[in-house]
Structure 1
């Protein structure tokens, strides 16, 4: 039988390519088909899907080439055979045959179950072919008569499946069909809240891909209809959560803060309306903390950051220590603490965040451990950037590599994890100058971009990190092709970054820095562009927002690069003012602020403005105690001091003497050493009064002090 099956399949395959009638109409072909039928379906033989499909294709091909009036027997035979396999493998039924195969309730139920099983397999294996097969199974059920109540269910399930497929493949055609099927489901059912909500999700996904605001407006209408039409008690939380995400997307597009307020209200209600054991509670809590953080970025109200941390902490408190959601809750708390630290600079937040992230790793199941390791890597990298402990960046790199090693080779999560590793390796290169680390950073960046191929706006950060590593290599080696590639990537990234995106200012400043260091020395037009980009970055950033100091530094550096061409005093004056603003940015990173103060001082000194130069050097010296964190090892503190305090002693003293301020000259010479000595003396403060007021706290503080002293002497 196997040989006959191969022969029939071979004939059908050749016919589909050549359309030669003799392949199916010859006596030999008919004899082979009859023999296969008899061997499989005749007598005691049992039919198989494979044989029925092969013979069905054979009969369908014959019906297509036989003259009218002679094709009916073969057509009936084809319908009979495809009906036999429709319930078992509906995806094998050709499109042109489906109209002849009516579907009953049992057929629909079986196809639903088959599609659900394929989706379950996809969640385990992440094989997109399984999604394709599930979609094919559901498409095969779409031909239910229009008045059949099951039709709307099939259309809705197919729309959700296709929207899911886009998330994993980036295929825009899947999104378009998802929207079409979703609309058909709503019409077929008369406006089910579930179908309205699912259509809204597909429309929102398409907006993120194509940026058409009409999709967002329709998504809002669908979501509002779903909330108004709620039936079951659990529905309000689900529909409000989905609608909240849509309002957030529209707020990001239009800048309308009333939409963002509506998103917060909806998400609060969704979290409040979710039971402790609701499987979507974690997702809704995460979305609420995210939108609160977004609103803080726009309004600057610290209460939003505090509420985000409180919401995450509440979820931790409601989650049993051994519960399945414990790791996710701890991970969210770690992320919220990280967000608040990044925006306020509170050291306690980053310490608590790292502790929560470590607890999340310990509580995580094997299948989720990579995600939690990656979060820990990000927090360690954040603490290194802010405070400079070498052990943090080394631990971040090792943790990131562990996370990547746990992922399947086809996992889309490898993109952002490799992107994080790219950033961490760049940071290590800045410390040790080893070009091997920079090459590894570029490799990780390329791996990140290769996984996702920049399918959506959310992937642009991967390209930005790669461009940064390429730019570093250009600075280090002087080889222009690295700079050329980095500049092109940055231009493409900025072009695709929405005007309201929170990362747009940083990308503008990064390109400005690259142009002023590689192109501006030889090109006035490049210098002009660098200034324009940096000005745009400053203009897009709230005056009190962290990160403004970085953009002001970029602007000042670009103005200096342009001054080399223009010799305009106005460029120098504006550069000094930008450095001064950057140094005075209270929420800014201390390292950037010190760098700005040093540049302000150096520029003023070159112009013979000694009093202004002294003010700059004194501002830098005053920030040393903030930048040199006493929690660092002695070696890390000394290394960081050498990096951030360079030229304070010599340049500062020379400027002070020229300004007639001998006492200030001595203070600047001793500034770095004074920081270390002051921290050492402060660690030996008498605890008698604290012991009287709070003995337990005094004991804990003494233990911490002893630990720090021990580490400092290593």
Structure 2
């Protein structure tokens, strides 16, 4: 064996096998060396398999290594090493044939090897490393997150136990990097790919030129660079990837077992640079090296399908550039081979099916033959239903399947596809990810939800449309709130299960909304952050297992599942709720009536594109009017832009003509049945770009003789979701029947922000209507984050007169600026307020939201709804410092200034009505066409 390893002459290994077989035949059973000789023969078979790929060799290797283990008594010094060697053979056969039992066996015997090896033993690090490799292999097959967590854990131990200068240090660093990269590709956490590049670079730097492993280490570093390029798009990363991968290929001799893999990886990097820069030479190079990779790989090899798939995608990229049909034909032929070679249930099968479906779709676009649509639909459906594949891959496949069915097949087939889409979304936006990472996934989901609802409306399934819109809005909010759901009924019947679910929910809640604070010691910080992330995902997996356990109990099958329409309908019990769906396919209003009916109102003259145009016009108008929209906490400031125009009047007129006016006649009867001798009430739940537009102010204001607007017909409120209304709908706020307790927070001089002298005027007018015994006022240095949080639960009404800050990059860091820092949504979301009635957010942009997350309603007003305030007064953009006190005066005059009135008049004192009257007064003061002054004040929640 040593002679073979030195010379590389394969006749030597053949001779060695023959000699060892003869020696074993001559060694009697019970001989002390019998087990060792079996082990050595297994090693010889194993090396020959690695060189020639003959399946019989790995079968023989497993057989004789198993005999070696069986003949080695427990406690023998070589037992652990022989178990480790048997595990390596099982893993090699798994990589060749893909049989799950082999990787299970590999993990089992490698774990035994680790357990048998005492701490401090020279072999411990190597065995930990090998166990980690096996865990990672199973993760790549099944996608179970626990496996990659285990892989990182034991590989990190292996690296830590390996002293600097050890011959295996570089290889173990490389393996740890591979595990970080695999987890990055699953969860998308940037820190993982940064760690992968760091340890892979260390591995390369530790390996001298000429070393046999140098090529493999360079290849791994190149893969990590490419993964970061995929995430961040930095050209330098793909340049580095090509450079080091080319070095890996050049260092690898023809005939080397991994030559094909290195060629394939270089081809992938060329393909990605081609897609970025469009240089034809890159795609030609990609096809050339990928074809070499396929030709070098034997039929039956575990990598064959992946190599074919990558060659197919390169041909398709060349087709997209040159339009040659032959390239597309090659793509389909090669991708079909890749799919056929991959067993059902394999983690990568969905990727291959997705690519095959894409190729069929492109050929349909080129030739127009419907059979290609059928083939593409079948491929996408199979990909979406391959539950062991990555959720994001399945989600893309399901969306493509639904899109093709919507265009070319029956509505029922489209609804079936969209049903799968909705089932996958919770896995894409998963509890085990950080909240920030979940928000990164959301932009691609919103339009899909709107499209699904549009298809349900088109098919006449209105309840399903409402359910889907509800399920697809405020996804992360609902996940966070789900963790705080009362478990009373479960606790009565199954107290132990309820207690554990509560414990896990609280731990997951804290993990999801916490902000990890960096420490001075970077290494300790990284390990602590890693441990925190692992705990987060562990709790998420346990939480899902507990949910499944609860749902299997009698009477709990719908526990914490998405609400059915019958459960959502009560949101309109006290007045119609108008859900407006804006999709590329069509736009519709769905009016939820007080009796549980759904009235569909098509909006044929309104479109997705028009909603986007109106949003941009509104933004231009705000800038032209000098309103700061940078969300940095300033009240209205003169910042008129040179290229911006005031389109405010036309925006409101278009909203009236194209959205509001068509809806009003359909709900006239429902409106006036619930008017209670005053103006009726509408709650708007808008989607897409419409969520950023002031429906409550829609109207025509340009001609005094024809002026008409929605406030002439109804009082408007907004809601982020129907669910947000359900908690308080049974006891809608009809104005206070007894003196409520009011908590006022004012901060006229927040450190580092412009002064707000008008806040003191606000406080004066509020205190005029309140009793000192029922009022708490914190201001200046007393208004700290801790003091405000401590006081909030003691009062029914809170009034925040301060700067509001919208954080677009990290929405849960949106905040109210107080004396000692920011009162963030992160902190507010941890509160649970039972007696809350009203929050008045007299701060800027408290209902602005993020244009990239239109369905999520990530703003301060939504946060206060989530905390437990059923009624919110907020602002859509920066407000004038002089206008806030006027609004406060009129709102509190209506809320608290009248005591001796009839029950029929108390509805007029509800917050939505109080704000309506206050804004009406402000409009008269500043003129109705000074839209920027009076339009931003809005009401959320139950009126």
Scaled by the length of structure 1, what TM-score is found? 0.65
Cα deviation 1:59-93 (Å, max 9, x = unaligned): xxxxxxxxxxxxxxxxxxxxxxxxxxxxxxxxxxx
In the aligned structure 2, how far is the partner of 1:236 from the partner of 1:550?
A: 44
Is the 2:215–2:248 contact (alpha carbons within 8 Å) kept by the matching residues of 1? yes
Cα deviation 1:600-657 (Å, max 9, x = unaligned): 11222232643323322331221122233322222112113335x3641343233232
Is the 2:348–2:389 contact (alpha carbons within 8 Å) kept by the matching residues of 1? yes
Among residues 585, 594, 605, which one is paired with 2:386 in the alignment? 585
TM superposition shift of 1:348: 1.6
In the aligned structure 1, how far is the partner of 2:182 from the partner of 2:442?
A: 19
Cα deviation 1:572-597 (Å, max 9, x = unaligned): 11111011111111221212111111
2:160 equivalent in structure 1: 362
Secondary structure at 1:457 match in 2: coil
Count, aligned residues: 509
Is the 1:387–1:629 contact (alpha carbons within 8 Å) kept by the matching residues of 2? no
Cα deviation 1:92-131 (Å, max 9, x = unaligned): xxxxxxxxxxxxxxxxxxxxxxxxxxxxxxxxxxxxxxxx
Among residues 359, 376, 385, which one is paired with 2:176 in the alignment? 376
1:408 equivalent in structure 2: 208
Among residues 514, 538, 548, which one is paired with 1:710 in the alignment? 514
1:186-585 mapped onto 2 (5 Å cutoff): 198-200=13-15, 219=17, 221-230=18-27, 233-243=32-42, 246=45, 262-273=60-71, 284-296=82-94, 302-366=100-164, 367=166, 368-519=168-319, 522-585=323-386
Residue 616 (str. 1) matches residue 414 (str. 2): no
CA spacing shift, 1:296–1:489, aligned 2, 3 Å? closer
TM superposition shift of 1:298: 7.4
Give the structure with the higher percent strand. 2
- Bigger CA drift: 525-534 or 303-312? 303-312
Secondary structure at 1:564 match in 2: helix
2:580 equivalent in structure 1: none
Cα deviation 1:239-286 (Å, max 9, x = unaligned): 444346627966998986x87554433222223445889897676444
TM superposition shift of 1:457: 2.7
CA spacing shift, 1:457–1:390, aligned 2, 3 Å? same
TM superposition shift of 1:297: 6.3
CA spacing shift, 1:434–1:618, aligned 2, 3 Å? farther
CA spacing shift, 1:675–1:453, aligned 2, 3 Å? farther
TM superposition shift of 1:411: 2.3
CA spacing shift, 1:618–1:252, aligned 2, 3 Å? farther
1:194 equivalent in structure 2: none
Secondary structure at 1:599 match in 2: helix
TM superposition shift of 1:515: 0.9
TM superposition shift of 1:349: 1.6
Secondary structure at 2:448 match in 1: coil
In the aligned structure 2, how far is the partner of 1:223 from the partner of 1:309?
A: 28
Among residues 644, 660, 678, which one is paired with 2:460 in the alignment? 660
Scaled by the length of structure 2, what TM-score is found? 0.50
Cα deviation 1:204-235 (Å, max 9, x = unaligned): xxxxxxxxxxxxxxx5x555324213377235
TM superposition shift of 1:674: 5.0
Is the 2:318–2:327 contact (alpha carbons within 8 Å) kept by the matching residues of 1? no
1:3-82 mapped onto 2 (5 Å cutoff): none
In the aligned structure 2, how far is the partner of 1:580 from the partner of 1:241?
A: 49
CA spacing shift, 1:360–1:701, aligned 2, 3 Å? farther
Give the structure with the higher percent helix. 1
Is the 1:404–1:418 contact (alpha carbons within 8 Å) kept by the matching residues of 2? yes
TM superposition shift of 1:675: 3.9
- Bigger CA drift: 326-335 or 294-303? 294-303
CA spacing shift, 1:252–1:416, aligned 2, 3 Å? closer
Among residues 621, 625, 628, which one is paired with 2:426 in the alignment? 625
Say which structure, 1 or 2, has more relative contact order (CA 8 Å, 6+ apart). 2
Is the 2:315–2:331 contact (alpha carbons within 8 Å) kept by the matching residues of 1? yes
CA spacing shift, 1:698–1:224, aligned 2, 3 Å? farther
TM superposition shift of 1:542: 1.4
In the aligned structure 1, how far is the partner of 2:196 from the partner of 2:273?
A: 21
In the aligned structure 2, how far is the partner of 1:468 from the partner of 1:677?
A: 38
1:128 equivalent in structure 2: none
Is the 1:442–1:469 contact (alpha carbons within 8 Å) kept by the matching residues of 2? yes
Among residues 149, 152, 161, which one is paired with 2:3 in the alignment? 161
Is the 2:361–2:373 contact (alpha carbons within 8 Å) kept by the matching residues of 1? yes
1:8 equivalent in structure 2: none
Is the 2:353–2:382 contact (alpha carbons within 8 Å) kept by the matching residues of 1? yes
CA spacing shift, 1:595–1:223, aligned 2, 3 Å? farther
TM superposition shift of 1:514: 1.4
CA spacing shift, 1:295–1:449, aligned 2, 3 Å? closer
Is the 1:656–1:662 contact (alpha carbons within 8 Å) kept by the matching residues of 2? yes
Q: Which runs of 5+ in 1 are unaligned?
A: 1-158, 167-174, 183-197, 202-218
TM superposition shift of 1:696: 10
- Bigger CA drift: 694-703 or 392-401? 694-703
Is the 1:397–1:425 contact (alpha carbons within 8 Å) kept by the matching residues of 2? yes
Cα deviation 1:478-508 (Å, max 9, x = unaligned): 1100000000000011001111110110111
Q: Which runs of 5+ in 2 are unaligned?
A: 517-811, 814-943
Secondary structure at 2:251 match in 1: helix
2:907 equivalent in structure 1: none
In the aligned structure 2, how far is the partner of 1:504 from the partner of 1:252?
A: 16
In the aligned structure 1, how far is the partner of 2:187 from the partner of 2:446?
A: 17
TM superposition shift of 1:339: 1.7
CA spacing shift, 1:283–1:460, aligned 2, 3 Å? farther
TM superposition shift of 1:672: 4.6
Is the 2:132–2:150 contact (alpha carbons within 8 Å) kept by the matching residues of 1? yes
- Bigger CA drift: 493-502 or 442-451? 442-451
Secondary structure at 2:442 match in 1: helix
In the aligned structure 2, how far is the partner of 1:636 from the partner of 1:454?
A: 43
Is the 1:244–1:264 contact (alpha carbons within 8 Å) kept by the matching residues of 2? no
CA spacing shift, 1:519–1:454, aligned 2, 3 Å? farther
CA spacing shift, 1:550–1:394, aligned 2, 3 Å? same
